[in-house]
């Protein structure tokens, strides 16, 4: 889906002022509320906008330890292991990957001992051959899309 300059202005506003009303967004952008709503609906339908909920902090939910776990899976069991990962609440996201492992999971824990318990649970899943864990020390670049939206906006203007 092509994102034009107005779309990028809308996306920037959503990122910068996520709790503002559609009416206020339209006023700020100088466009009709119907135009804005149609654009938002299209970007949701096309998968550009994937959520509108709050961003939560695992650390504030008493899970300050963050680790990335590489999971090697027995051939033919990737879907089964992926489904099993979805049942583990401490796994906040997981991806199929290339390279050193078959899956990469972002895992949170209350402390190192709890993290070890979660990893032991992963190792015991049918189809898991081995895991390799890397504990995050400090977040250096938080998850962000603003710079990407800016880049797409510059490309749309060119």
pLDDT at 85 exceeding the cut of 70? yes
Q: How many CA atoms within 13 Å lie on the side-chain side of 54?
A: 3
Phi, psi for 94 (deg, rounded to 5): -150, 145
Give the pLDDT score at 69. 98
Least confident of 3-7, 63-67, 125-129: 3-7
Report the 3 state secondary structure along 31-79.
CCHHHHHHHHHHHHHCCCCCCCCCCCCCHHHCCCEEEEEEEEECCCCHH
Range of the domain at 30: 3-52
User: Which CATH number is 32's domain given?
Assistant: 1.10.10.10
pLDDT mean across residues, the chain: 95
Coil, strand, or helix at residue 24?
helix
Proportion of the chain above pLDDT 90, given as a percent: 88
pLDDT at 121 exceeding the cut of 70? yes
Give the pLDDT score at 54. 84
Residue 1: band (very low, low, confident or very high) from pLDDT cuts 50, 70, 90: low
On whether the CB atoms of residues 123 and 114 are closer than 8 A, the answer is no
Over residues 35-54, the pLDDT tens digits come to 999 999 999 999 999 988 88
pLDDT at 153 exceeding the cut of 90? no
Q: Which of 21, 11, 5, 15 is nearest to 43 (CA)?
A: 11
Coil, strand, or helix at residue 30?
coil
Q: Do 68 and 118 lie in a common domain?
A: yes
**141 inside domain:** no
Residue 114: band (very low, low, confident or very high) from pLDDT cuts 50, 70, 90: very high
Q: Do 98 and 66 lie in a common domain?
A: yes
| Number of continuous H segments (helices) and E segments (strands) in the chain | 6, 4
**48 inside domain:** yes
Domain count, the chain: 2
User: Which CATH number is 124's domain given?
Assistant: 3.30.70.920
Per the document, the length of the chain is: 158
Q: Do 126 and 70 lie in a common domain?
A: yes
Phi, psi for 86 (deg, rounded to 5): -65, -20
User: How far apart, in whole angstroms, are the C-alpha atoms of residue 23 and residue 95?
Assistant: 37
Over residues 62-83, the pLDDT tens digits come to 999 999 999 999 999 999 999 9
pLDDT at 100 exceeding the cut of 90? no
Q: Do 47 and 64 lie in a common domain?
A: no
Residues 15-25, mean pLDDT to the nearest whole number: 93
């Amino acid at each position: 889906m092509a994102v034009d300059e107005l779309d990028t202005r809308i996306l920037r506003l959503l990122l910068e002022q996520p709790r503002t009303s559609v009416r206020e967004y339209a006023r700020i952008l100088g466009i009709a509320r119907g135009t804005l709503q149609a654009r938002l609906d299209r970007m949701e339908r096309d998968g550009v906008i994937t959520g509108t909920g709050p961003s939560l902090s695992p650390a504030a939910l008493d899970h300050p330890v963050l680790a990335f776990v590489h999971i090697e899976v027995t051939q033919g069991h990737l879907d089964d292991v992926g489904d099993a990962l979805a049942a583990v609440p401490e796994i906040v996201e997981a991806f199929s990957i290339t390279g050193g492992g078959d899956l990469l999971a972002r895992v949170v824990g209350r402390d190192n001992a709890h993290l070890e318990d979660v990893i032991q649970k992963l190792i015991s899943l049918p189809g898991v051959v081995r895991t390799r864990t890397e504990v995050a020390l400090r977040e250096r670049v938080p998850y962000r899309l603003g710079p990407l939206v800016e880049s797409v906006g510059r490309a749309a203007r060119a």
